[in-house]
Amino acid sequence: MAATATVEEKRIALLIDADNAPAAKIEVILAEVARYGVANVRRAYGNWKSQSLKGWEAVLHEYAIRPIQQFAYSKGKNASDMAMVIDAMDLLYARNLDGFAIVSSDADFTPLVMRLLTDGVKVYGFGEQKTPEPFVNACSKFTYIEALGQPAGADVPAEERASTPPRSAQDLGEDQRMLRMLRRAVDAVSGDDGWSHLGAVGHQIGNQASFDSRNYGYRKLSDLIEATGLFDVRRDNQIVWIRERPQQSAKPKVKAKSK
């Protein structure tokens, strides 16, 4: 009897900067990481003697996260950052991982992300909305933890699980970087009729930069694209097609001839 073929799951190292990440969001972060693979390495870095990390201590054992102790050797210096970088490079050189998930709102990890990407591994970033753009843009995909909402439980209504309100068409229209990225992606994969498959558009965007529609308050990429008001969206059963609407130029006014 032939064995059933199984898809090999991606192996991901979850590295948490406990000094710059809220413990209350660990459940939804782990659920998000599970979309990309198995977090078979789970480590949280910090000075566990500090009272500020008491919230993390309560969830470490529950979610099988290994605490890595780092003492503050001098004031104003974060030893946890250095420990995370060293461990990440050791894990990279071991060649037994497919990706990294880094939880932090600290832009100091930007060089690390760029180094990991050069070895062909994916880097998924998670941080608060205060996270500086260099770190956000460096990741293969960065998701604001506010956009992940609350853990999905019976006591949490579905409408309350996503805490980032949808941005209006006017607000989206002011984000020229995002609009240029959408337009380029749609144009790059469009057919002769101008229509582009949504899946191909999403893949093209992922190759360009870090992007997550939930950061704008929309659960699906198609919802975000439709909300801009700049694209036509066509649905054929489960298949979604996108086409940029032609820009309408204002017609010049014709002056009435004087008699």
Residues 3-27: pLDDT tens digits? 444 446 899 999 999 988 999 889 8
CATH code of the region 169-244: 3.30.420.610
Q: What's the pTM value of the predicted model, to 2 decimals?
A: 0.69
Give domain 11-160's CATH architecture. 3-Layer(aba) Sandwich (3.40)
pLDDT higher than 90, residue 236? no
> How does pLDDT run across 111-168, given as a tens digit for each residue?
999 999 999 999 999 999 899 999 998 999 999 998 886 544 434 444 344 456 888 8
> How does pLDDT run across 68-101, given as a tens digit for each residue?
987 665 554 466 788 899 999 999 999 889 999 9
Q: Which residue type occupies 101?
A: A
pLDDT for position 8: 67
pLDDT higher than 60, residue 222? yes
Q: Could you state, in order of their start, the residue ranges of all structural domains in the chain?
A: 11-160, 169-244
In angstroms, the CA 93 to CA 98 distance is: 12
